[in-house]
Amino acid sequence: MPFLFPRTIQDSLSFYLRAEEQAVQSDSLLFNFGNFEYLSVNSQGILFAPDSTEYEKFLPVPGNEGLLFSFSPTVSGILFLIFLLCLVTFSIIFRKEGAALSGNFRSIFSSGIRSAKGFKEQVTTTEVWGEFFLIFQAILLYTIFLVVFLWENEPGLSLKSYASNFVGIFLALTLLIVLKYLMYRLIGGFFLQNDLKSWTSRYFRLIELSGVLLFIPLFIYVFLPESRSVLIFVVLIIFITVRLIIVAWLINIFVKNKVGGFYFFVYLCGTEIAPYLLYYKGLLSLISIAGNNIV
């Protein structure tokens, strides 16, 4: 019903009529999600249109974008465990035999055979197993590098394919190291015995040192894909430096014993160049076999 309001206006009626106002109901959507009419829709008015202001919040920030792993989370987890086990094992060995291992690494660049001064004369079991582990670690790291480098653009590889390729490359590298050791011992049995025996120990300590130097760069290379274009040069520099040190020491041995350059060239081709050519051919065969399995 209408309400009557008293007014005290001169020459007018004391009362006037006023229509009843409807009570405004609160919209529950206004407090939480907003009214429907404020949601943007497309030109047809049926589907919701993307909000440009909200969409801009999720645009990538300008800069270097991260890359996805080229292998599955299972493979990346296994590789991480391998790096972790290598790090823990090396820490334990170096804690016990750090002085002996450091002396072995320094003897690589010394002019003579390591003397017993400053080092303990007795070789412990931990030191022997430590050197075996460092050689094993170097082979393992080179294997990881080759697997990631050769198959990083093959996301279709299964876990079984990765495992077979990994085992194949690891066994091939191990066989190459064993054959080179037997070759050094065989040649050293009748040719420059003392010098080649000393060189054999230096050679394997150089392999151990390369594995230690490659650990951090390879870890970043595997788990930070956007840095691979830079770190691959670091790996190549370490590998080439090791090869150059080997050639320099062999030249030193042959010059010191006044052996002709022809014999040095034959020895270098037989022990350093030919094995890597054979390994390269075997690696190409392994890649072709893996490619056929994918197809």
Give the pLDDT score at 265: 67
pLDDT of 135 above 60 = yes
Give the pLDDT score at 136: 92
Most confident of the following: 11-25, 49-63, 281-295: 281-295
Give the pLDDT score at 116: 40
Q: What is the pTM of this model?
A: 0.65
Chain segment 203-251, per-residue pLDDT in tens: 888 888 888 999 999 999 888 888 888 888 888 898 888 888 877 777 7
Chain segment 66-77, per-residue pLDDT in tens: 556 667 778 888
Residue 117 banded pLDDT, cuts 50, 70, 90:
very low
Chain segment 121-131, per-residue pLDDT in tens: 567 788 888 88
> Which alpha helices (DSSP H) does the chain contain, by range?
28-32, 52-55, 73-108, 125-151, 159-188, 193-223, 228-256, 261-268, 274-294
pLDDT of 114 above 50 = no
For residue 292, the Cα-to-chain-centroid distance in whole angstroms is 26
